[in-house]
Amino acid sequence: MIRLGGNVSKFQAPKGVSEYFPPNSSQFEYVRDKLLQSAKLAGYSLIELPVFEDTEVFTRGVGESTDVVSKEMYTFEDRGGRSITLRPEGTAGVMRAVIEHNLDRGQLPVKLFYTGPFFRAERPQAGRYRQFYQVGVEAIGYNDPQIDVEVIAIADKAFKSLGLKQYKLNLTSLGDAQSRDSHRKDLVKFIAGLKLDEATIERSKINPLRLFDDKRDEVKSAMSKAPLLLDYLNSESSQHFDEVKRLLQVLKIDYVINPRMVRGLDYYTGTTFEFDHQLLGAQSGIGGGGRYDGLMSSLGGSDVSGIGFGLGVDRILMACLAEDSLPASVNQLDLFIVPITPQSKDFSFQLLSDLRDAGISCDMAYGDRGLKGGMKAADKSGARFGLVIGDDEISSNRCELKLMSSGEEISSSLTASEIINRLGKDK
Ligand code: HAM
């Protein structure tokens, strides 16, 4: 809040949140819808969940060694004294709902998508927000390499449908429990030989893999010689991972193997992946995900595996803008009507309603703005066509549809049906 003097104050949005308003909000909407469309094409159905959950859903689900749980959650006590947390991510909440509503008792896999705001109390910077938007999918019920690749392909197809080119898929496998156990033994021995501060040692006790993600130079260089989980995959995990790689090649999805990649959440097992965009600087992760074998059971559900991703809508929009990949006008209004007399105002209002009934997106100049003011409004609306209606147009039942981009005029009778025809031909 900014004090302006006296009792007047001007509010500002809380620090570090992303906001979208016209005209650019249509680009955000376009990007989000393309991401959702890719999930729908693959047979995923909407799951709409609360933005807050019992805090334990996240402490148990996401893991206490993670920054997300230990430093970034918006946690508060509600009026009934319960500990509530604004969702920092989507997967744990989806599992809570799957278990609560027995969604995994029917046909498997359960394929779900979601979108909405997520909350992490991070240090804000370009591309890193305290409220941000994700589109996510989860496929629960089978541990099948084809599903791993389906999930990755949904993200890849979505990026391609947005015209993105400069992104990279990083891939690794965290293997099954046996592979992770044998790696963990050697990793813990290795870490015991390093000189680390108390907090880092404590963190590594919960999840030693976290140290691969440490940004400090001294830890990075110490970890450069650490044993890598990929070298410890047993034959079953190796076979699964080989099949994932083969199927990615079949679908012509490029990837790089990144054995040091550590996701920011503790529930991952098996195939894990992250998409980076090359023009986004420090916050280059535009989406990521992976398989989670133990998550359902750790939240009290049955022992079934799942895989999913979360795509960062804010960052993907930034990537599209950086690559200039969005169409010149998205979600554009078809027509803007400018009435210039009292009689044509009434006529236009009815025509507007008829056109909207027929699925034409249109608006008109309200108030008495005259020709000049009305055309200015038409310009600002970004509509494809402008249409001036005065008494002459009404008495002759003829009008000119003006293509706003070129000024070209197309003659039409002043009836909804012919106008619809003319607009359609020029789409
Ligand atoms: P995540 O990697 O933590 O995964 O987040 C997914 C994506 O959300 C990131 O790649 C990034 O694009 C975006 N994102 C995360 N934090 C921020 C932020 N502070 N500001 C802007 N964008 C952000 C998950 O959330 C997992 N639930 C994904 C998943 C689903 N794994 C399995 N199923």
pLDDT digits (tens, 9 = 90+) for 152-172: 999 999 999 999 999 999 999
| Measured distance CA(4)–CA(10) in Å, rounded | 7
User: How far does residue 78's CA lie from ligand 1's centre (Å)?
Assistant: 26
Q: 204 C-alpha to center of ligand 1: Å?
A: 22
More confident residue, 206 or 326: 326
Least trusted range by pLDDT, from 84-88, 214-218, 236-240, 248-252: 214-218
Cβ atoms of 298 and 256 closer than 8 Å? no
Supply the residue whose CA is at minimum distance from atom 13 of ligand 1: 312
**315, 316, 317: residue to mutate for ligand 1 pocket, most atoms within 8 A of CB:** 315
Mean pLDDT of 174-180: 96
Calculate how far, in angstroms, residue 243's C-alpha sits from the geometric centre of ligand 1.
26
Fold of 335-426: Rossmann fold (3.40.50)
Which 3 state secondary structure label does DSSP give 387?
strand
Distance 73 CA to ligand 1 centre (A): 14
Alpha carbon nearest to ligand 1 atom 6, residue: 310
| Ligand 1 proximal residues by C-beta, below 6 Å | 89-91, 120, 122, 127-129, 132, 134, 136, 138, 264-265, 285-290, 308-310, 312, 314-315
CATH class of the domain whose range is 2-176+234-323? alpha beta
Ligand 1 pocket: which of 31, 69, 132, 261 to mutate (most atoms <8 Å of CB)?
Answer: 132
pLDDT of residue 213: 86
Give the Å distance between the CA of 186 and the centre of ligand 1: 30
Confidence of residue 230 (pLDDT cuts 50, 70, 90): very high
Ligand 1 centroid, distance to 61 Cα (angstroms): 15
pLDDT digits 0-9 by tens, 45-76: 999 999 999 999 999 999 887 899 999 999 99
The residue whose C-alpha atom lies closest to atom 2 belonging to ligand 1 is: 288
Say what the pLDDT of residue 4 is.
63
Q: Whose CA is nearest to atom 23 of ligand 1?
A: 312
Half-sphere exposure (Cβ direction) of 346: Cα atoms closer than 13 Å: 4
Distance in angstroms (rounded) separating the CA atoms of residues 45 and 339 = 44
Give the 3-state secondary structure of 5-36.
CCCCEECCCCCCECCCCCCCHHHHHHHHHHHH
Query: In the chain, what is the greatest distance between 2 CA atoms, to the nearest angstrom?
Result: 92
Query: Got the DSSP string for 161-195?
Result: HTT--SEEEEEEE---HHHHHHHHHHHHHHHHTS-
Mean pLDDT of the chain: 95
Quick check: bond before 23 cis, omega within 30?
A: yes
Q: Whose CA is nearest to atom 29 of ligand 1?
A: 309
Kindly give the distance from the C-alpha atom of residue 178 to the centroid of ligand 1, in angstroms, as a whole number: 27
Sheet with 362-364, edge to edge strand ranges: 362-364, 335-339, 385-389, 398-403, 409-413
For ligand 1, atom 9: residue with the closest CA? 287
Q: Taking the CB of residue 80, how many other CB atoms lie within 10 A of it?
A: 6
Take atom 33 of ligand 1 and give the residue whose Cα is closest.
308
Q: Parse the chain into domains and list their residue ranges.
A: 2-176+234-323, 335-426
pLDDT in tens, 264-284: 899 999 999 999 999 999 999
DSSP notation for 295-340 = HHHHTTS-S--EEEEEEEHHHHHHHHHHHT-S-SSSS--SEEEEE-
Output the DSSP codes for 204-231. Answer: HHH-GGGGGG---HHHHHHHTTSPPGGG
Nearest CA to ligand 1 atom 15: 312
Alpha carbons 427 and 407: distance in angstroms, whole number: 16
Instruction: Tell me what pLDDT residue 1 has.
Output: 58
- Structure confidence at residue 6 (pLDDT): 66
- Which pLDDT score, from 0 to 100, does residue 64 have? 86
Distance between Cα 383 and ligand 1 center (Å): 35
Residue 133 alpha carbon to ligand 1 centre in Å: 9
Ligand 1 pocket test target in 31, 94, 134 with most atoms within 8 Å of CB: 134
Cis peptide, bond prior to residue 109, ω within 30 of zero: yes
- Going from the Cα of 122 to the center of ligand 1, the distance in angstroms, rounded, reads 13
What percent of the chain stands above pLDDT 90?
87
H helices of 87-176, in order, are: 91-100, 145-161
Q: How far is the centre of ligand 1, averaged over its atoms, from the C-alpha of 316 (Å)?
A: 12
Atom of ligand 1 nearest to the CA of 291: 32
Model's pTM, two decimal places? 0.94
Q: Are 179 and 237 in contact (CB under 8 A)?
A: yes
Of the chain, the percentage scoring pLDDT greater than 70 comes to 98
Of all protein residues, the one whose alpha carbon is nearest to atom 26 of ligand 1 is 310
pLDDT tens across 327-372, in order? Answer: 988 888 999 999 999 999 999 999 999 999 999 999 999 998 899 9
Pocket test for ligand 1, best of 51, 89, 111, 168 (most atoms within 8 A of CB): 89
**Nearest C-alpha to atom 8 of ligand 1 is from which residue?**
312
So what's the pLDDT on residue 71?
93
